[in-house]
């Protein structure tokens, strides 16, 4: 995989980062591994699918194309502190194999790998080839607490019981009101009443990755 996206979550999770020369070196080796994909409806996500304020931030950021990352931060701060974050939470119903979660969420992310938004260890226990999808979700929080939690997640070893976590072979997400959804960084707006069925396509994609990454997202 070659780093070319806005946040390059795929490359960061694989230990390639944003260095194109390093990425090219990886491409030229013949070491590859099979990773799971997340199937939703009739499409696939490689790393994450997320509902909530982060997708809303990304959606608004698209109108500031020239300065992407600063705009991301600026719009994020605006949403968090100025527009009052409680307006950005969404009413969802989430069903995993074993649990049901009803109510409002600031963010609900479903993924395959730990790093989210480039630097945030949002799903620290997620593995790309374990046949399961990880969920990390946040109920509405005060802006200060949400910001604090986000900052703590820059540390890979951070775990918080404020973050709802689950692992499941499938999730069903019912959007009970209009919501912003991002799929590997592409943002879409969905209407109330839409449903996502997420399941795992085990080891469906072969990827050329570093043989000895600093942090491994693989189960062996």
Q: Which residues bind Mg ion (CB under 5 A)?
A: 112, 127, 130, 132
Closer CB to Mg ion, residue 46 or residue 80? 46
Structure tokens belonging to residue 112: 């395959």
Nearest-approach distance from CB 182 to Mg ion, in angstroms: 18
Give every CB contact of residue 30 below 8 A, 6+ residues apart in sequence: 208
- What is the spatial distance between Cα 29 and Cα 218, in angstroms, rounded to a whole number? 18
Question: 166 forms bridges with which residues in the sheet?
Answer: 135
Nearest-approach distance from CB 112 to Mg ion, in angstroms: 5
Nearest-approach distance from CB 134 to Mg ion, in angstroms: 6
What Rg value do the Cα atoms of the chain yield, rounded?
17
Closer CB to Mg ion, residue 90 or residue 132? 132
- What is the spatial distance between Cα 132 and Cα 167, in angstroms, rounded to a whole number? 6
CA 204 to each of CA 19, 45, 75, 148, 211: distance values in angstroms, whole numbers, following the listed order: 26, 11, 36, 37, 19
> Is the separation of the CB atoms in 51 and 111 below 8 Å?
no
- What is the spatial distance between Cα 102 and Cα 65, in angstroms, rounded to a whole number? 35
Closer CB to Mg ion, residue 96 or residue 112? 112
Nearest-approach distance from CB 141 to Mg ion, in angstroms: 26
Nearest-approach distance from CB 218 to Mg ion, in angstroms: 10
Closer CB to Mg ion, residue 26 or residue 38? 38
Q: Which of 21, 27, 3 is nearest to 13 (CA)?
A: 3
Nearest-approach distance from CB 129 to Mg ion, in angstroms: 7
Closer CB to Mg ion, residue 158 or residue 218? 218
Structure tokens belonging to residue 127: 């593995």
Closer CB to Mg ion, residue 12 or residue 132? 132
Structure tokens belonging to residue 80: 């968090």
């Amino acid at each position: 995989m070659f780093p070319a996206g806005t946040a390059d979550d795929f490359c960061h999770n694989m230990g390639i980062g944003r260095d194109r020369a390093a990425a090219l070196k990886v491409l030229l080796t013949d070491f590859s591994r099979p990773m799971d994909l997340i199937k939703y409806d009739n499409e696939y996500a490689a790393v994450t699918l997320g509902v909530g304020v982060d997708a809303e931030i990304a959606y608004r950021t698209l109108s500031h194309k020239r300065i992407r990352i600063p705009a991301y931060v600026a719009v994020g701060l605006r949403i968090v502190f100025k527009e009052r974050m409680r307006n950005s939470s969404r009413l969802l119903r989430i069903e995993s194999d074993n649990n049901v979660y009803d109510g409002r969420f600031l963010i609900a992310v479903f993924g395959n790998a730990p790093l989210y938004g480039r630097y945030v260890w949002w799903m620290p226990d997620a593995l790309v080839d374990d046949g399961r999808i990880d969920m990390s979700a946040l109920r509405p929080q005060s802006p200060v607490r949400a910001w604090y939690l986000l900052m703590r997640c820059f540390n890979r070893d951070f775990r918080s019981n404020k973050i709802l976590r689950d692992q499941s072979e499938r999730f069903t997400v019912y959007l009970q009101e209009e919501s912003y959804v991002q799929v590997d960084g592409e943002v879409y707006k969905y209407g109330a009443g839409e449903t996502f069925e997420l399941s795992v396509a085990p080891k469906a994609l072969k990827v050329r990755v570093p043989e000895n990454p600093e942090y491994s997202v693989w189960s062996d």
